[in-house]
Amino acid sequence: FQNLSVVKISRVNGMQDLSWLVFAPNVISIHVMWSSRELQEIISREKVSGILNEGSSIVPFRKLREIQLRFFMELKSIYWERLELPSLERVFIMMCPKLKKLPFSKERAYYFDLRAHNEEWFERLEWEDEAIED
């Protein structure tokens, strides 16, 4: 996956997560829509915890510039803890009603464009602190 830079997935059934993305260090764009109803998390903590331990050199989404997630009624998590996401420019979330937390650090939250399908979703988001929410 070293050369993978753009990921577009649409209308795929049976996926439970996209944990394999941690092996794509150069991915800059992720667009996923209308995929599996079973998909509850983008990166599964259970599946990658042995790979992403303290001594690991893998840093997920280091080059990611854009992520779009659309029509995931069961999606609950992108990543279980904060990520620095130093290159992130755009995030678009549409129809992901169970997604309540985003993995953005306070420092990075000010530097990218975050959009969602409706304001009600924004109001239901849970934030670690007020600085990120602002």
Distance of CA 47 to the CA centre of its chain: 16
Q: Indicate if the pLDDT at residue 115 is higher than 70.
A: yes
Q: Indicate if the pLDDT at residue 131 is higher than 60.
A: no
Rounded to an integer, what distance in angstroms lies between the CA atom of residue 128 and that of residue 105?
9
Residue 11 binned pLDDT confidence (cut-offs 50, 70, 90): confident
Q: Indicate if the pLDDT at residue 73 is higher than 60.
A: yes
Tell me, what's the pLDDT at 108?
A: 66
Tell me, what's the pLDDT at 42?
A: 92
Structure tokens at 69: 């997630």
